Copies of this chain bind each other. A is one copy, B any other.
Amino acid sequence: MPYVNIKITEEGVTSEQKAKLIEGVTNLLKDVLGKNPATTMVVIDEVPTDNWGVGGEQVSSRRKRGL
């Protein structure tokens, strides 16, 4: 029954990579806690770099500075 929410920046993540994240997290919850994969939900949110801040600065701005 676990619910997992993964937030990452929207920077070209492929459908195949999303599939790997979903499979990986679901297996992790089965291996560590014995959770049933059938009822494990994973939701991936892709956030525009303008809308994500770290260090008090937008990621879009950091990317322009090569970070």
Contacts and interface: CB of A to CB of B under 8 A. Distances in A.
B52 A19 contact: no
A41 B43 CA distance: 13
A2 B42 CA distance: 11
Interface residues of A, number: 51
Contacts of A1: 8-9, 41, 52, 54, 59
A57 B9 CA distance: 21
A53 B22 contact: yes
Interface in A28-67: 28-29, 31-33, 35, 37-47, 50-61
Contact of A26 (B9, B18, B42, B55): B55
A17 B47 CA distance: 17
